[in-house]
Structure 1
């Protein structure tokens, strides 16, 4: 009798699973299917074909898929190849504390499945994928101007503090902060527009707001001072770099696919401001009617006269730039290369660049499905984020380990004392 064996059945989303199928006939062809329904009722599905070995078993750590959503040996492929049944949907966990994503794993007889036989389903199993470890605490933050959610690891602490920033979709996105707290960081998921009583649209980025958030984080008795880290993506990465430039509290900045050329959204701190006049319209629409925005600011090495580049050389902390070379939302690799060049030109070695061929814009924690395109509530057309399935999955797995290592290295008392 066929059986799906998964270990562990309950785990954090960044933990790998060991998936095996036993009780098959020797060399039997089967289809493995993973399915997940998100909190909005949207279905995500992956289907992959395998051939049992001579013992009637399939071990995903050693067996190569022979067709379907991917081919080859990919132990976690069933999860990172999940795709939405409703196109242009992004898998986004909202309640990160109280409930996991339930992933249903099914194995079907290959022949019977395609002949629509009611006996095609051979075995099923369900796994829980959590965004917060047991004991992680969520605290709503509404202090002064600052709005967000603070996630604290279990225990007395103190824990290294991190501010987590997302991009131009606005609102409050918490899944990465809760996962960071599960890995030992006091993580503040910070909203900065289109949330609660914050501005509905982003016209001006005032770094004093983010300074206030950093001070609130550092005042918490369970947060290890005197410095914090920032993890940021897209527009948030631009803000994260600006925070590192202006705020002495920021010791380590992770910047994922960020633009560092200025644009029509002003970045200001006290008496300094950075912005550019509108440039010629270069946002393009592909043949599917989806926007590709990566050419909007062009290449920073070629556009120095039209746009100011943020003075990254003024930052006292350390940078980890992460870019996907198939990012179709931000021209992120030239931006990160220009930032590294400016640091070198000023005699600084506080930057590291990780560039991933085939990765797209939305580089997220490991085993997250690739989102190639989705809707942004502030843009009338869907946005093309880019990325190729397998390279993007590999980039997510590698970069997450590097992010955690980078933050731990630079937010310990020994490393902070050297700044």
Structure 2
């Protein structure tokens, strides 16, 4: 167990004992609810986000599910059961069913909605620039971006079954941009959303979440159409007359990099596999939106997660 800064305590050993890669960050005073923090397609561990949540009074488990030692190197065939083990850990720590939240950014937002729709212990889900549709995996071993897009299969599995997903496309203009070393918008590599039964097959059943759902989308997202992808989930919640608080907030003019606490990078461009990605959005607006999204996230988690433990109720 490690002493952290500003009244938080970090524990990696408890994660190892439960068979997950992560760090549990708790405030020194007893937390009443807990949040699992899930990063995006960059992989790795979002420990700083967990620390920021712990400083707000939550227990926070930063969970690595790929891209770190001890977990797969690529976003391919990741079992949802792995995240369920993180919920087992928090349950063992005394966080009751309904007092556990999920916070994910980008592909982590997609994963948060998926896990919340499969595990009734989840009482709140926040998906920032995420997706209400299951999308394809990312096999970084394939090399350059166009080869990754052409070869990647499923991102997620449940009970050993690969989940159906929206496929990638590799338009010729995208390949030309890569070969010219020009910045690319990854959103150009996603197939158009289908309709009817085909859309139903890849949509996340978010109406099954036994708690609140907040989705925050960037109106000028260069990484994917998070507005349209999240609106699929909003439509399901609307159609089901979801009995818990929910919202889909669209922040116009901002880019993909609004997930996480304020102060993180909001550059309009960033590195990718053999490419430079265009994240979109005005940098000043995006920085402001990042701060606003964090305020909304913390406020929503406080509003939707129980304010007292089972022993206190």
Give the TM-score taking structure 2 as reference length.
0.81
Q: Which runs of 5+ in 1 are unaligned?
A: 1-96, 99-131
Residue 12 of structure 1 is matched in structure 2 by: none
**Is 1:254 the counterpart of 2:150 in the alignment?**
no
Q: Which runs of 5+ in 2 are unaligned?
A: 137-152
Cα 1:271–1:367 change in 2 (3 A) is closer
Greater per-residue strand proportion: 1
**Is 1:134 the counterpart of 2:134 in the alignment?**
no
**When the two structures are aligned, how many residues end up with a matched partner?**
283
Match of 1:174 among 47, 52, 71: 47
Counterparts of residues 12-411 of structure 1 (less than 5 Å): 133-140=5-12, 141-155=15-29, 157-221=30-94, 223=95, 226-262=98-134, 263=136, 264-270=153-159, 273-276=162-165, 278-282=167-171, 284=174, 285=177, 289-300=182-193, 305=198, 308-350=202-244, 351-363=246-258, 364-376=260-272, 379-411=273-305
1:316 Cα deviation after fit: 2.0
Residue 84 of structure 1 is matched in structure 2 by: none
In 2, the alpha carbon distance for the partners of 1:259 and 1:158 equals: 29
Q: Which has the larger radius of gyration?
A: 1
In 2, the alpha carbon distance for the partners of 1:275 and 1:183 equals: 37
Contact 1:218 1:227 in 2 (8 A): no
Cα 1:273–1:369 change in 2 (3 A) is closer
Contact 2:24 2:61 in 1 (8 A): yes
Contact 1:301 1:334 in 2 (8 A): no
1:346 Cα deviation after fit: 2.1
Contact 2:79 2:157 in 1 (8 A): yes
Cα 1:402–1:280 change in 2 (3 A) is closer
In 2, the alpha carbon distance for the partners of 1:314 and 1:411 equals: 17
Give the TM-score taking structure 1 as reference length.
0.62
Greater per-residue helix proportion: 2
Contact 2:43 2:68 in 1 (8 A): yes
The root-mean-square deviation of aligned C-alpha atoms, in Å, is 2.7
